[in-house]
Amino acid sequence: MKKILLVCTGNTCRSSMAKGIFEDLIKKEGRTDEISIDSAGTSVYYSEGANPYAVSAVKEMGIDISGHKSKQVEEYHVANSDLILTMTLGHKEILKSKYGGYSYKIFTLKEYAGKNSDFDIADPFGGSMETYRYTAEEIKDAISDLINHKKI
């Protein structure tokens, strides 16, 4: 089974939405026995649920992340993942500097999807519901490209 780790800052917005979206898309593809998805953050100080706007944005897509609990990325997450997809170049650089021996499997989501690797998925935190919807669609678009082009 291929293990994919999705990483953002607090693990309450982007990576929590990405995990829910990714799991939904692989379920629709009938590939849940092939791929395992997890998420974590680079700056998680205590575990908390997903941001309410993040929950609502993906709920509009028919995805439930209401049970999500944030967690800090640790070396065992990185070591036990086959692929690590970050939401920004900054997250990628943090992980590469902390866990340099695993650099070969750390990419931004858009970079791995074949999108422009210079483009980050912007943090919707503090934004409007519309900002969260846009972010969820941006994430879904990148993950759909990964699946449709058989990159995972």
Supply the DSSP string of 71-111, one letter for each residue. Answer: -B--HHHHHT-SEEEESSHHHHHHHHHHSGGGGGGEEEHHH
Q: What is the pLDDT of residues 60-94, one digit of tens each?
A: 999 999 999 999 999 999 999 999 999 999 999 99
d(CA 61, CA 124): 17
- % of the chain at pLDDT higher than 70: 98
CA 52 from centre of chain: 17
The residue to which tokens 């678009």 are assigned: 141
Name the pLDDT band for 151 (thresholds 50, 70, 90): confident
Query: Is-above-0.95 flag for pTM?
Result: yes
CA 129 from centre of chain: 19
Active site residue 13: no
d(CA 60, CA 80): 32
Name the pLDDT band for 145 (thresholds 50, 70, 90): very high
- Phi, psi (degrees; rounded to nearest 5) at 144: -60, -40
Active site residue 8: yes
Which residue in 8, 13, 24, 38 is the catalytic one?
A: 8
Which residue in 13, 33, 64, 123 is the catalytic one?
A: 123
Active site residue 31: no
Q: How far, in Å, are 17, 52, 105 from residue 66 at the CA level?
A: 10, 8, 29
Exposed, middle or buried by CB within 10 Å (0-12, 13-18, 19+), for 130? Answer: exposed
Which residue in 13, 14, 38, 133 is the catalytic one?
A: 14
CATH architecture of residue range(s) 2-148: 3-Layer(aba) Sandwich (3.40)
Q: What is the pLDDT of residues 23-66, one digit of tens each?
A: 999 999 999 999 999 999 999 999 999 999 999 999 999 999 99
Nearest 5 degrees, angle CA 11-CA 13-CA 15? 55
